[in-house]
Amino acid sequence: MPAETQAIQSTDDQLAQLQKLGELYQSGVLSAEEFAAMKAKILQ
């Protein structure tokens, strides 16, 4: 698979993870600190 395709898939995966994380935070499952830590890990 070309590197460009992998980068796009990686970005799509990150967006999906961030959306799910945001939902968990909004529903109160995650604290602000947990949300920030997990968000930083996803964006690395």
DSSP letter (8 states) at residue 2: -
- Distance in angstroms (rounded) separating the CA atoms of residues 17 and 3: 21
- Distance in angstroms (rounded) separating the CA atoms of residues 22 and 29: 10
- pLDDT tens by residue, 1-44: 566 666 666 889 999 999 999 999 999 999 999 999 999 999 98
Amino acid at 39: K
For residue 44, the model assigns a pLDDT of 87
For residue 7, the model assigns a pLDDT of 66
DSSP letter (8 states) at residue 29: S
pTM confidence score: 0.75
- 3-state percent helix, strand, coil for the chain, nearest multiple of 5: 80, 0, 20
Give the CA angle between residues 28, 31, 34 to the nearest 5°: 130
